[in-house]
Each structure stands twice: as structure tokens, then as C-alpha cells.
Structure 1
Amino acid sequence: MCSFKKFMLVTFCATLTLLQAVAQAASYVDVLELPAKPSALAVRSPLLDVTRAGERLVAVGQRGHILYSDDAGAQWQQAAVPVSADLNAVHFPTAELGWAVGNDGVILHSNDAGATWSKQLDGREIGALLVQHYGALASAEPANEQWPLLVAEGQRLIEEGADKPFLDVWFADAQRGYAVGVFNLILATRDGGQSWTPLQDRTDNPQGLHLNAIAAAGEALYLAGEQGLLRKWDADRDRFVAVATPYQGSFFGLIGSPGELLVYGLRGHVFRSADGGASWSPLDSGLQVSISAASRDAAGAYRLFTQAGHMLLSENGSTHLQLLPQQSQSPVAGATLAANGALVLVGGRGVRALPVE
């Protein structure tokens, strides 16, 4: 009898588990089709990047959350977003026009300073883009062995589905921009995102390393990524060419100005170049914690932030990064200056604004 009861209990539990799985499958909605849910807690949920759209602040993060503030970060409103995929980066080349990118190969666009967003592309379409683009090149240049490999890469993306994230986005103006991500994923647009072109063949990245960041320093445009990867756009060669760096660990970001470039990443490593990457000087952070974000103030000084929430200052070409005291400290994923000069930080605990000094 006991054995029978045990058998019935196991059968019941198995049936219940199956019914729950069926119910969950029936109610499942792809994050690429599910609009971001409005939440009063969004301002305290994990956020991964923040930027300026004119005088407005715009922050992006998990579950498709996009927030904007018109009072230097004191109060935030949640934007209307058509997906609930995690968003990793945001950039506004003008006060009105912006782009955000994230997981599942999603690219979003706003034409109203971040209040509402539309989807321009997602990972379900990227593989087909590669197949079409590199298939045409393979037909035109049958002797080029690179094109069939990239066609095969596109076919692999189709088979694996929309699971490859974009990690950063940058636009020169309202028309020309780039989205970059894992495994050398890079797309370019010349029409404001109405169409996208793969650039996997133009990155000097045969290993397919992750592209973690894209940013400009003065007139120069750079990519930064795994294993000390740094690439610089060469207009004459129409490609991102390799720039040698003194570090073989991952770079998570870069920041600069005319005549100066800083790259930062794992274990507190920061390097400065004043000659477009021809030579480098290490900046001593005194920390072994990864640098995850950076911002430049009106005076030209750089502030760098760690995954543990440290704030470091680089100014006047010093080779040492000064550790700045803070009343409270939490992990930082993105940083920018508000219109009033306040420093706005985002991370795992949401958003916080530091007063003007």
C-alpha cells in the first residue's frame, strides 16, 4: 500500500509539473514582442548606461527599462519601450535623436529625446543580413575565401536565434552610426537605422573577440574589446585597423578628447595615449577592481568608476589616478554629467545623482 501511495504521489507530482510547464509555455511571450512593463521601482532597478539628450538625461537597463529626467536626475519618468530585453547602451548624437542597444540583438530608436522608442532591428534579422550581404560579395568575388565563412556565420546566427547581445552604440550624427557586440558583431547604418550593413570583414578581428565599446576621441573613432583589443577607423582603408596596446586583458570602455585617449578595463588597468595609440602610458589606479565607466567634466578632467563603486580622478596629465572620497558607494555601470554639472551614475541599484562640487 505504501508503495502504491508513493507511486501515485510521484505520478501526481510529475503530472502537476507537466501541467505547469504547459501553462508557462502557453503564456510565454518573447521579450522582443513584450513591451517594457511600467514600474514605480524602475529608478531603483539595475541600469547599465546613461547619457545626455540635449539637457535631458536618458538611462537604460534591464527588462527594457528606459528612464528620462529633465531636472538633472532629481526625478525620472519611464519611457514607452516596445521590448523587455535588457538594454546595455544608449547614445544621442542630437538632442532629439537617439539609439539604444541590448540583448537579443535589439536596436531601438527615439526621435523625441527618449520619451518613446521604436524597434529598428533585432537578433532574428541579423543572421539574414549577414547571409544576404556576404552572399552577394561571394557571388561577385568567388575566389575570396572570406565571404563563404561569413555567410556560414550568418547561417549560424539564423540557426541559433536571437541570443547575441549588442554591447555598445555610437552615432556620429543623425544618419551615421554603429552597433557593436559579442563575437565581432558589428553593424553600420548610413540612413539613421532604416537599414544596417554588417562590417565583420572590416575589424581586423580574426579571432572574433567581443567588441565591448565604441567611442570617438576627437575626430578618431575606436573599438575596444577582449584581450587588449583596440581598433581605430581608417577612412583611407575603409576599415577598423589594429592598434597595439600594452595589456592583454579586456578593455571595457574608452574615453577621450582631441589629442588624448584613455582605455580602461580589467583589474583597474587604465592607459593613456597622446598620439592616437602609437604609444601608451599606464595610469596607476592603486586598485585591482575593474574599471567599468568614465565621464569627462567641463574642465577636461576624467572621472573613472569601478565595478565596486570607487571614483577615480585623472587630471592635468598625471600618471596617478586620485581616489576620491564618497559618502556612499555602489557599483557603477554608466556615468555622465547633467546640464547643471551634477554627476549622474547608474548601476545595479538604479540611478543616483551627485551634487555639483
Structure 2
Amino acid sequence: MISREPHNNRNLSLAGAKPARTCFTAVRTCLMTACLMAVMHSVFAASTSTVSEVLDTAAQSVDERLSVPVLSVARVGDALIAVGPHGVIQRSTDGGQSWKQMPSPVSTDLVQVRFVDDRNGWIVGHDSLVMHSSDGGQNWKVQLDGRSLLKLLNDYYQPLADKGNDEAARVLNETATASSSSATPGVLAAPLLDVLFDPQGNGFVVGAFGMVLHSTDNGAHWQPWVERSDNDRRMHLYGLAQRNGVFYISGEQGLLLKQDVAAERFTHVELPYAGTLFGVTALDDLLLVHGLRGNLYASRDDGQQWQKIETGITSSLVSIVKQGDRWLVVGQGGELASLDRNALTVGKLRAAKGGEVYGASDSGKPGALVVSRFSGAGVLDIATAE
């Protein structure tokens, strides 16, 4: 089982919300291509496992002679962690030149990996999965999955619904419908797409169909925030960023949300762009959002006014990465651009060869970027690319 993806439909809800996909989203979160199926079945034994089984079954060992698709890569101290389909987790200690498979307690598809310091990191993926590592990515423990999330939503919203809270009742209804229509009853199988914590242990998880979960203890406990966001249409939520304890969420159809800490909710930020936003970057003096067809927008006043940055990139933007003293914009097609954060202009770099790029990370080595691809994690030499 490679993936369980949302399909197209404009009737949006947890029960079967189906916001529009893009090529990047379909590839990164689902990888539903015949080519991938052929490759993955040559790496792993063919499987018809149920959702419950992939959540209870450790990832199989990878045949090191074959390339394994990677969906996300992140730097942690002097190491790199890469994740992908079938629960595969890999670790590199030489800047991405070689990789070693790490133990993984699940065999569901892994979508995103993030670290907050040299020890603590999180992975999110399909089947509402959240995993945590406290040793730099060498070992991982499940914090949440589609079974525990279903119980969490019911336990949280039922008392509120019983008191006449209409929003809680709506979420309960959506949850019940989603559960009853799941291929595996008792499991919410929708993918979680990003996770982010601050150094104090305060963080969020976001995902398909408007899912938002909040934790104040590094993910040991979670509180649903589905109804605490200005996202009534349950748009997919793709990216997270934070600065000074305030979190931002990017999503479908130009959706950008900012945390109102006092009100304990996410409020809508107006944008002059209605296309999907795959990511948001929050710097001290600059807010950036990136999405389809090379679209990149910047704001110096926390979203009050926006300026479009002409990137010269035609494919979707998948990452903005700090590499040394510069910021690099990475396109799905392998295009690279260097961002001047003062002038808000970009210098186009030489395009990277090797196929579509799903994400990128600083490698820890000057002039080198690590990207996640269908063919695995690869290192790009950008020192002489300008």
C-alpha cells in the first residue's frame, strides 16, 4: 500500500473533503504512479496490508542496490534525515553522500521531517501519523496515528457538542462520516503534511481537510484546533512557520493563516494571490509564501502589504532554504534561485539535473544542498552555479 490520497471535489469537509490537487502535491503526498509502484515493489515485498497493519508493522529493510524515493529531508546537527514511502527513514553523517536506514516502527508513507534542535525531531505522514525522535533521528516513537486521532477528536468535541456548540457538532459529524467510509473502520487515514515546534515545546501539526492539532509538551498530548481556524471550507494545509512564538499556516487557494495567541485561533491573512501555497517562511523582518508556477510573495509588515517577487521559475516552488548567509529558492523542476532579502530580487542559478524535486535542506557543507527526489536524496553543488 503506497498511499491513500484526497481526490478532487469542492465539497470540503473532514468527511471527504477533496480540494484540488496539483502535480507537486499529488507526487509528494501520494506518489500514485505506475512507475513508482513498479520501483517500490522491487524494493519491498508486495503488500496488501490494511491501514492498521501498516501502523503496527515496522518498515522493511531497503535493498541498498536500489534507489528509494524520498519525500523530505532535514538537517539535524551534523547529520541528515530523509523519509519516504513505506515508513523508510534514512540517516547520513557525510553530508548526504551515503545513507543508512534507521529503524522505523511503521510502514505507512512518511511525508515530512522537521527538527527543532540537535536531538528533537518529528515526522508526519499518511494515516494521521506523528512520530518523535529525541536522539537526533536514530530512533522514532509514534505519538499519534489515525486510531488515536479518531478517539481524540471524539473525546474532545463530544462534550462541546452536547453543550450546543455547533462547530463541535460539525466536526463530530465529519469525523463520523470519514470513519464510516474509511477502508479500515476506526482509523482516520488522511495524511498529515507538516509539523513544527518551537524550543519551548509548543507546536502544531497540519494536514489534509483542514486538520490542525496543537501541543504544548513536544507532542506528548494534542488538542484539536480544527474549528479554531478561518478555514470553513476545510482546505488542505501544507506548510508551517513560526517566529517569536507565533505560528503561520499556508494552504490551498491562497490560504494563509496567522496564530492569534490571545484568542487561541488562526485568523485569515489576505493575499493578492489565489493559488495554492506549499510553504511559508517567517524571518525576523520578512514573511514569505511560495506556491504554484514559481509564485513567491513577500511582506515586511506581517502580511498587511505584499510584494510579488519575480523568480524566473515556472515550476512550483517546493522549498526556501537558508544556506550559509543566503536564502535559496528551490523549484519542483530542479530550478534554483538566490534570494536577496533586502532588495527582494532573485539571482537565477543553474538548474539542477536529475528529475523532479520534492523538498530541500541545507547539507551542512558550504555550497551544497540536499534535495529529496524520486531517485532518493541527492546532493547539489551550488558553489559555482551563479
Is the counterpart of residue 155 in structure 1 residue 176 in structure 2? yes
Note closer, same or farther for the CA distance 1:317–1:92 as it changes in structure 2 (3 Å cut).
same
Residue 360 (structure 2) pairs with residue 354 (structure 1):
no
- Cα RMSD over matched residues? 2.2
SS, match of residue 56 in structure 2:
coil
Q: 1:121 aligns with which of 144, 153, 156?
A: 144
Match of 1:6 in 2: none
Report the CA distance between 1:326 and its aligned residue. 4.2
Cross-structure match for 1:305: 330
2:237 equivalent to 1:214:
no
Q: Which residue of 2 aligns with 1:31?
A: 54
1:331 corresponds to: 356
2:75 counterpart (49, 52, 68): 52
Question: Residues of 2 paired with 1:219 and 1:124: CA distance?
Answer: 30
Q: Contact 2:335–2:352 (CA<8 Å) still a contact in 1?
A: no
Residue 193 of structure 2 aligns to a residue in which SS? strand
CA drift at 1:176: 2.0
Alpha-carbon distance between aligned partners in 2 of 1:257 and 1:27, rounded to the nearest angstrom: 44
- 2:195 corresponds in structure 1 to 169
| Per-residue deviation, 1:287 | 3.2
Query: Is 1:83 paired with 2:109?
Result: no
2:307 alignment counterpart: 281
Q: Is 1:225 aligned with 2:251?
A: yes
Partner residue in 2 for 1:20: none
The Cα shift of 1:154 comes to 2.4
- Per the alignment, residue 253 of structure 1 pairs with 279
Q: Tell me the distance in 2 between the aligned counterparts of 1:316 and 1:152.
A: 45
CA displacement 1:191-231 (0-9 Å, x = unmatched): 22222111101111111000011112455321000010000
1:266 alignment partner AA: L
Contact kept? 1:259, 1:274, Cα under 8 Å: yes
1:95 alignment partner, SS class:
coil
Q: How far apart in 2 are the matches of 1:262 and 1:81?
A: 34
Task: Give the corresponding residue for 1:340.
Answer: 365
SS for the counterpart of 1:221 is strand
Residue 315 (structure 1) aligns with: 340
Deviates further, 274-283 or 171-180: 171-180
- The Cα offsets for residues 159-185 of structure 1, whole Å up to 9 and x where unpaired, read as 223320001110113632211100101
Alpha-carbon distance in structure 2 between the residues aligned to 1:171 and 1:85: 23
Stretches (4+) displaced over 6 A: 24-27
Contact 1:127 1:157 in 2 (8 A): no
Using the size of structure 2 for normalisation, the TM-score is 0.80
Q: Deviations over 1:93-147 (max 9, x none)?
A: 12111110001111111121111112111112222211110112223x42x3212
How far residue 298 of structure 1 moved from its aligned partner, in angstroms, is 2.5
Whether contact under 8 Å (2:313, 2:335) holds in the other structure is no
Alpha-carbon separation, structure 1, partners of 2:85 and 2:257 = 29
AA aligned opposite 2:118: A
Whether contact under 8 Å (2:352, 2:380) holds in the other structure is no
Query: 1-side partners of 2:142 and 2:212: how far apart?
Result: 17
Question: What one-letter code is carried by the residue in structure 1 that aligns with 2:358?
Answer: A
Corresponding residue of 2:89: 66
Instruction: Report the AA paired with residue 261 of structure 1.
Output: L
Change (3 A) 1:216 1:126: same
Q: Aligned runs of 1:104-115 on 2, under 5 Å?
A: 104-115=127-138
- Aligned pairs, how many? 331
Residue ranges of structure 2 left out of the alignment (5+ in a row): 1-44
The verdict on how the C-alpha distance between 1:304 and 1:42 changes in structure 2, with shifts beyond 3 A counting, is farther
Distance 1:270 1:42, change over 3 A: farther
The structure in which a higher percent of residues are helix is 1
Partners of 1:279 and 1:327 in 2: CA distance: 33
- AA of the residue aligned to 1:315: D
Where in structure 1 are there 5+ consecutive unaligned residues? Answer: 1-23
Q: Work out whether residues 313 and 331 of structure 2, in 8 Å CA contact, stay in contact via their aligned partners in 1.
A: no
Identical-residue share of aligned pairs (%): 33
Provide closer, same or farther for how the CA distance between residues 273 and 201 of structure 1 changes in structure 2, counting only shifts above 3 A. Answer: same
Q: How far does residue 273 in structure 1 lie from its aligned partner after superposition?
A: 0.8
